[in-house]
Chain A
Amino acid sequence: MGKLSLPMLPLLQVSNLRVHYHTPYGPVKAVDGVSFNVEAGERYGLIGESGSGKSTIALSMMRLLKSPGQIESGEVYLDGVDVLELGDEQMRRIRLAEVALITQGAMNSLNPVIRIREQIADGFRNHDKNPNKEEIESLLQRVGLRPDVANMYPHQLSGGMKQRVCIAIAISLRPKLIIADEPTSALDVVVQRRVMQILKKLQVEMGVSVILIGHDMGLMAQFADRMGVMYAGKLVEEALVRKLFSKPQHPYSQLLMESLPSLEEKTAFQLARGSPPSLLDLPTGCVFHPRCPYAMERCIKDVPVLRTIWSEHRAACHLLDNGKARDLDQ
């Protein structure tokens, strides 16, 4: 914002990504034309409810999507390279070294009969490196674990400690991008705070970009600089976190904000209309129109495009098409 810098390409450029799951009932359009950028050193949040397509985006970027999922079209440029065009062996070399993934269940993917030391070393070995004792212990220390955890087995660790081991593995080869898909959803709130603070500290220290995927607005507010809101396979709004919380523009984002429970005062519950649509049978026009309190005739016919409404703020809503962003204060 206002600072002088050389024009640089963003670290990650996702353009018009479409991912379908092919089922006997027809294609499930899990990701339906999503585009966004993540800058180097940025903490980007991707929020959405179940079935919104956020995890499918993560798997597609890692090229870990399994059948019947299929990337139909789009580009994912990571540091100038389209990862969707890479061969399997090239992609294997990029994973962990350039881009790492931490999932909700990552802690359960640790091998129960292998010591932590070996599991961390495994990542190095897959990239033809051999870490020494100090390297492994220093990785553990960076995620707030004692060095002797290296000699332990996963069952000797709590869920939060295991998840931190997974973070240690994720940073071991100093990737440029870490994708954290619901990294703390299986953890208790106290442990969650600790894990998120460690992730944030490492992000700052290493200058790595992090994409945090989740459903918890609270975590987004605590962690991300900028965030995108997903609904039924589409990115419906994107803005700086502060702006998105103070002036959400898309009616779905507004619904999310209104349904946030408060610890300050007891309020009447904001009852949402309807439920998210089936991805097999999406509504015509705007995917949100059946639930939208402002839906007009146009919304049933035309698909709104994600367009810039003011600096660093994009939203896909016909109400904003006349160039006027709505001010919620009025």
Chain B
Amino acid sequence: MTALLHARHVTKVFSSGLISRAKTVALLDFSLELRTSQPAIIGVVGESGSGKTTMARLLLGLETPTQGEVLYRGKDLRRLTRREWLQFRRDVQVVFQDPFEVYNPLYKVDHVLETPIEKFRLAGSRHEAENLMQQALQAVGLRPEETLGRFPHELSGGQRQRVMVARALLVKPKMIIADEPVSMIDASLRATVLDNLRKLNTDFGISIIYITHDLTTAFQISSNIIVMYRGSVVEAGDVSRVVKQAQHPYTRLLVSSIPHPDPNRQWSDEEPPSEIGSQSKDEVGCKFASRCPYAFEPCLKTAPPLYQTEDHRTAACFLYREHATLNTEKMDNVFLYE
């Protein structure tokens, strides 16, 4: 069965500046095959500049790869017919970070739900359309009578984001890409949005790619995780193992930097390594080497491949060079499906 979405050796380079043409490699040789036969939640974790949002935009067809290709049902996104493109936009939905910007303040909340119904001709009558909107809102735990007919500013950030999840659900997608969906929402309301996403996966069989900088929510919601650093995958696999026994030194640094909400569990006193300077374009070797406490000679010369360190995990680090290398195109083979 062809995969719903398949990124193959995707690299994205951004050029900036008219004269110097400084080049930034936002994503390097990224491959991921997303099948819908096993709907799962995959967490993609990284800091700013890790390439996680570029990856999402490439998967959504909002950016075109500099190298490689993104296939939708086996066909390059750039070569889809109008009809196929419309189907793609229906199958793959997105929830963005900012639940404030996506709304037009002059339109009622209904508008964001009516638009996909019209665009995809989901309803034959006004009555049918209203039923669909109500069902979608109820599925995310919102009361239609308290939500419809209101203006965006009358809803909280959490409620607005849940309306966006309801909107994604309306078109019965196969997959939802959620890019930092809770990072602008207050802590006490985050759980409701995360719970919505989890339910879409379990109750409606929708695959979810959960993109975040927050390892903790990724752990809570995902079954598998991909950790990215400056455009490359550094570690991936079963989320519990990656978080609890991180293998890549960068993942370990990330885990140890989390401020635990527990006064009895203080940060260790060791000084975290220095911050990244500016990226040099002719950098060879592991991108983490300059900050890595374990770096040795090979790390400075060549970029480490992904090693399959265990059944359900992989790490791109020479510390694990005795393990077999993993075909990057098969990275998802290490994922554990429950």
Within 8 Å of chain A (Cβ to Cβ): is B124?
Answer: no
Main secondary structure of the interface of A (DSSP, over half): helix
Bound CA–CA A257/B141 (angstroms): 22
> Is A194 an interface residue when CB atoms closer than 8 A count as contact?
yes
- The answer to whether the Cβ of B327 comes within 8 Å of any Cβ in the partner chain is no
Q: Are B272 and A193 in contact (CB under 8 A)?
A: yes
Partner among B156, B263, B267 whose Cβ is within 8 Å of the Cβ of A197: B267
Q: Which B residues contact A (CB, under 8 angstroms)? A: 47-48, 141, 156-159, 186-192, 194-195, 198, 213, 215-217, 219-220, 240, 243-244, 253-255, 257-267, 269, 271-272, 275-278
Q: Does residue A126 face the partner (Cβ distance < 8 Å to B)?
A: no
With A241-B263, A272-B189 as known contacts, state yes or no: A218 contacts B258, CB within 8 Å. yes
Q: Please tell me which one of the listed residues B157, B190, B258, B277 contacts residue A189 in the complex, with CB atoms under 8 A apart.
A: B258
Taking A217-B261, A259-B188 as contacts, is the C-beta distance between A193 and B267 under 8 angstroms?
yes
Given contacts A190-B253, A222-B266, A263-B219, contact A256 B188 (CB under 8 A): yes
Residues of A close to B253: CB separation below 8 A: 190
Quick check: A193 and B257 within 8 Å, CB to CB? yes
Kindly provide the distance from the CB of B144 to the nearest chain A CB, expressed in whole angstroms: 17
Q: Is A284 an interface position by the 8 A CB rule?
A: no
Task: Let me know if A261 is at the binding interface, CB within 8 A.
Answer: yes
B182 CB to closest chain A CB, in angstroms? 10
In the assembled complex, the Cα of A149 lies from the Cα of B185 at a distance in Å of 36
Q: How far is the CB of B196 from chain A (nearest CB, A)?
A: 9
Contact A245 B262 (CB under 8 A): yes
Given contacts A156-B278, A197-B267, 7 further A-B contacts (CB under 8 A): A158-B275, A192-B257, A259-B187, A263-B215, A263-B216, A272-B189, A272-B192
A residues 237-286 with Cβ under 8 Å of B?
Answer: 241-242, 245, 255-257, 259-263, 266-267, 269-272, 275-276
* A contact residues around B188 at 8 Å (CB): 49, 255-256, 259, 272
Instruction: Return the contact of B187 from the options A221, A241, A256 (Cβ within 8 A).
Output: A256
> What are some 10 contacts across the A-B interface (CB < 8 A)?
A158-B275, A161-B275, A188-B47, A215-B186, A260-B261, A261-B216, A263-B255, A269-B194, A270-B191, A271-B191
Chain A residues near B264: list those with CB within 8 A.
Answer: 242
Residues in A195-241 with C-beta less than 8 Å from chain B: 196-197, 215-222, 241
Contact across chains for A275 and B187 when beta carbons are under 8 A apart: no
Question: Are the CB atoms of A221 and B190 closer together than 8 Å?
Answer: no
